[in-house]
Structure formats: structure tokens, C-alpha cells
Amino acid sequence: MSGEKLVGIVLVSHSAEVAAAVAALAKGLAGGAASVRVAPAGGTEGGGLGTSAGLISAAAASVDRGAGVAVLTDLGSAVLTVKALLAEGDELPKDTRLVDAPFLEGAVAAVVTAAAGGDLAAVEAAAAEAYSYRKV
């Protein structure tokens, strides 16, 4: 699978710890998903709470294999930061998509689908479908 182009996934949180933990959990629940590149982009460059355009751009570049990049976010300003980067046009890899999905459940669904070889549309659909997961 090493030569296969797989969708990359970026998890943007206001907390570096939360982004890293969700990335680890999603990969772990997907059986390790060693072939899928998942990058956390949490907090600010100084380690505080917030979002960083630079960290998001770097994370997206690190997971890009030419099959697209799915970006999942936790809260409002993370969404706004990703939208601003997309509007710039040259800050994120080609075929980067902001995915409207719940952060944790969507991340798991995205990683599982990417690991199975799903394209960007399939990864986005699987993550978005996580909104319908019921717990009761």
C-alpha cells in the first residue's frame, strides 16, 4: 500500500492535546491504519489554546499524497481559520476539503474509509454520516 495514493486527514482542534489524542484514537480504532496519514493541528505555535493557520497548512502538506486532504475541525474559529486558508487558494494542497462532521466520530469514520482506499468524496461522506450515529 505504500505506493497507493490515499486521502490524508488533518484534525484541527483548539488544543494540541485533543487533536493528537483524537488522531491516535481514530488510527487505533481503524486497526492502526498505518497507511493513512493523519496529522493533528491543534492549538497555537506557542502551545496555547486556539488555532494556527501555519500549523494547519503544515499538517495538510504533511499528509498530502495527491488524493486530497480532508480537514475536520472542532469548533467555530477552527472552521473560520480553515475557510480563510481555503479562500487564499495557495495555502493548502490542491483538493483540500473542509468536512462538515462531528470531530471524534467523523475522524474515526474518515480514517477507516481512507484506509480502505476511499476517495475524497467517500471520506467526506463517511465522516458526515457520523452525524447520524445515535447513542440511545
What is the 3-state secondary structure of the chain?
A: CCCCCCCEEEEEECCHHHHHHHHHHHHHHCCCCCCCCEEEEECCCCCCCCCCHHHHHHHHHHHCCCCCEEEEECCHHHHHHHHHHHHHCCCCCCCEEECCCCHHHHHHHHHHHHHCCCCHHHHHHHHHHHHHCCCC
Catalytic residue numbers?
A: 14
The pLDDT of residue 74 is 96
Residue ranges and CATH numbers for the domains of the chain are 8-113 (3.40.50.510)
CA distances for 37 relative to 27, 87, 110, angstroms: 9, 24, 11
Res 134 pLDDT > 90:
no
Per-residue pLDDT of 52-78, as tens digits, reads 999 999 999 999 999 999 999 999 999
The pLDDT of residue 135 is 84
Res 22 pLDDT > 70:
yes
pTM of the model: 0.93
